[in-house]
Amino acid sequence: MKNLYDDSKFFAAYAQMPRSRQGLKAAGEWLDFKRLLPDVAGRRVLDLGCGYGWQCREIAAHGAAHVLGVDSSKRMLAAARARTDEPTITYELGDLATFERPAGSFDLVISSLAFHYVADLPGLMARIAGMLTPRGTLLFTIEHPLYTAEGHEQWVTTDDGRTVWPVDHYFDEGLRETTFLGQKVPKYHHTLATIVNSLLNNGFTITGLEEPRGSAEDIATNQSWTRAPMMLIVRGEKVPQSNQ
């Protein structure tokens, strides 16, 4: 099935978004994500759903031995390659739902706003655990369960004129169809318990959890995503088999 990001009109609209043009400095969650990053010097790193490769280049700039960026969009990868000069970065076309490498291939796996496109989250975590070295780290962002639950991902206006974020069908996990940049986008809603247990049941300990609100300026100017959680950041460390 064709990746939505390979649709020329959709990709052109996406390319105009602030985070597409300005990179990590326009990503409100980046400071929280960066604080949870382990030391990457000399590490082998996998970025699942790498997009334009912003995080790959940031990781490489801090001394990673090798960074592999994987994405299922040919247009995304072409844009990433065009922006990348670092010889320690490789990009590869791949599906998050099936991508796999031999055991112990990576010291760190990162992902930004991609895991909500995967239906089988426990299966994904099992593959990631297999690819990581003992005590390797997984750090990812995913759309927050309170953000994805109702499905439309739109604020609603109450009868008395208040604008609120709707939460409904929270426990009904599975496919949601949202509208993003004028296109219907399929995503998957997972409860908080499913997200956390998908790590715990696959040999991870949770070593960090954040619900980013953006900068002080974002909050002061009442940016909509600072009022209700849009994202969840989770860090897990793979427990060595002998300690499980």
The count of domains in the chain is: 1
- Token readout for 217 is 């300026």
* The pLDDT value given to residue 39: 96
CA separation for the pair 226, 221 (Å, rounded): 9
Helix, strand, or coil here: 188? strand
Query: Which of 28, 32, 11, 6 has its CA nearest to residue 19?
Result: 28
What's the confidence (pLDDT) of residue 244? 44
pLDDT at 242: 63
- Give the H/E segment covering residue 79: helix 74-82
Question: Cβ-count burial of 241 within 10 angstroms (0-12 exposed, 13-18 middle, 19+ buried)?
Answer: exposed
pLDDT at residue 46, as a whole number = 98
- Residue 205 and residue 236 in contact, taking contact as beta carbons nearer than 8 Å: yes
pLDDT of residue 1: 55
Rg, C-alpha atoms of the chain: 18
DSSP H helices in 87-181: 121-131, 145-148
Give the pLDDT score at 218: 78
User: By three-state DSSP, how is residue 227 classified?
Assistant: coil
> From the first residue on, what is the mean pLDDT of each consecutive set of 10 residues in the chain (244 residues)?
78 84 85 95 97 96 98 95 96 95 97 96 97 97 96 92 93 94 90 98 97 83 82 95 57
| Contact by Cβ (8 Å): 96, 49 | yes
Helices 192-200 and 121-131 sit at what angle, rounded to 10 degrees? Answer: 30
The enclosing domain of 11 has a CATH number of: 3.40.50.150
If one counts every other C-beta atom within 10 angstroms of the C-beta of residue 183, the result is 14
Positions of E strands within 6-157: 44-48, 66-71, 89-93, 106-112, 132-143, 156-157
